[in-house]
Structure 1
């Protein structure tokens, strides 16, 4: 079938095939790069927020807790600001009140929390249990679908590393009276030193960033297709102008010569391959004319 096609048609088919392969490869590579860039962006946002919350926790533990801890024994109401987890959560809630940050989430998901606000759901409980089983695992990342949309999360284990923390979480008898008045005696006790009791989880909305990456992919692919199309038509025009039409001209003259019209010349002044072909045809025509004249002189 291909043998029956003209050179122009064959060349167009080859260009179209190259065009399709190039677009497919470019689209796949571009999509992978944009997806990776989008994931790096949401991961970077989550890491910055994680570091910020850890800074709040450290400040509360080192500066706020020593100032307010004595009041826990004498006060009638517990002062939650002495708890690093509470401070970090409250600061993050203030961050979420800023326009555009509503879907960012922070939670120190705990299996047995003092404040039930920190109670781990089934998904979060699985993360905590995994940290307990895989003690060498220091970070878990992934995607999760929430009512707010798809989010990218980073989770890190939280363990009891200071004996002072056990004062509020070992037994009710050792806990500050104000804590028992506020939260009761049933939750947040029985913790052990160096035990992983929670997972610190930052969730960053990712749908908007990935949608933007998809839009960028569509725009760039549209531009590439437009550019490839223009290049295809331009190459096709140049090939037709510089090759096909000149070959057709040589073909027509050759047909005239084949019917005995020796007045037709292969008029090509170009020094390229087609010009060389025309010159060869002219020499062949001259040789053919000489041969025919000789035959005529001999009476054939």
Structure 2
């Protein structure tokens, strides 16, 4: 099968583009997913900092104001961890998929009891007190989840008033939660952890959306480039070569007067046309000498 120069050029260009397109797609996919995961981790850390700020505000500003009330009935809002959870539940409405939990191995409030995997993370943080944060992935029935965990330590001696032994705890606390949970904590010990979790489907979906836009843009650039190069090849190469070919055919048939090699310019095709023109002149002179 005979292929024209333009077709060969397009085939080579298409092959190069396909290789580049696939390579760029794989590279961009990995980079975008990595960036999306890093962004998700950063957002999770912001949530974690917000939780810490809520706990600190409650401990320093709210709890002291409720001391009188606590003598008559226990107010959960006086507990820093409770306030952080309630505050973050409001933020979670604006950050779809993100979830925050403050869990303890021996919690006062049953809702703060960790799941099995959270308990494993807490024990790991307890065994390695030098760790300030853990970032990991875990499999769930709905897919992988990315999580950040930070240890909870008892650093304020005031906490021991409620969590050392039941006999020292406020009666209102015992009345609400009982004497069996949330006691025998030790100062500076890791008693739990704060968790922020987010499904991996969220960062993956964001990165895939950006990837589709990137690949569509790359494809658009390729189409425009292909059209521009084809026009350029037609105007600067194939059209001129066809003109030279027609003139050469006429010269080969003896129609030297109709063979026009008048190609202008200084490029290679113009140089070739000048060579053909000199050959035509030589042939004309040779025929004249023969006829004479």
TM-score normalised by structure 1 residue count: 0.84
What does the per-residue CA deviation read over 1:2-49, in whole Å, with 9 as the maximum and x for residues that have no partner? Answer: xx6442222112211222233224323433443344334323332222
What does the per-residue CA deviation read over 1:122-149, in whole Å, with 9 as the maximum and x for residues that have no partner? Answer: 1211211221233222112244566787
Which of these residues, 119, 129, 148, is aligned with residue 135 of structure 1?
129
8 Å contact from structure 1 (residues 153, 201) kept in 2? yes
Partner residue, 1:18: 16
8 Å contact from structure 2 (residues 163, 185) kept in 1? yes
- Secondary structure at 1:141 match in 2: strand
Pairs within 5 Å for 1:1-300 = 5-69=3-67, 72=70, 74-75=71-72, 77-96=73-92, 98=93, 100-101=94-95, 103-144=97-138, 151-204=145-198, 207-208=201-202, 210-263=204-257, 264-295=259-290, 297=292
Distance 2:96 2:79 in 1: 24
What's the offset of the Cα at 1:154?
2.1
Distance 2:91 2:223 in 1: 49
8 Å contact from structure 2 (residues 144, 201) kept in 1? yes
What's the offset of the Cα at 1:116?
1.1
- Secondary structure at 1:173 match in 2: helix
Distance 2:57 2:19 in 1: 57
Distance 1:65 1:152 in 2: 33
Cα gap change, 1:229 to 1:95, in 2 (>3 Å): closer
8 Å contact from structure 1 (residues 42, 206) kept in 2? no
Q: 5+ residue gaps in structure 1?
A: none
Distance 2:182 2:96 in 1: 29
8 Å contact from structure 1 (residues 112, 187) kept in 2? yes
Distance 2:142 2:20 in 1: 38
Distance 2:142 2:89 in 1: 15
What's the offset of the Cα at 1:270?
3.1
Distance 2:182 2:225 in 1: 70
What does the per-residue CA deviation read over 1:143-171, in whole Å, with 9 as the maximum and x for residues that have no partner? Answer: 45667876543211111123332232222
8 Å contact from structure 2 (residues 33, 203) kept in 1? no
Distance 1:221 1:101 in 2: 28
Cα gap change, 1:70 to 1:11, in 2 (>3 Å): same
8 Å contact from structure 2 (residues 247, 260) kept in 1? yes
8 Å contact from structure 1 (residues 158, 196) kept in 2? yes
- How many pairs align? 291
User: Aligned-pair RMSD on alpha carbons?
Assistant: 2.7
8 Å contact from structure 2 (residues 97, 202) kept in 1? no
8 Å contact from structure 1 (residues 113, 188) kept in 2? yes
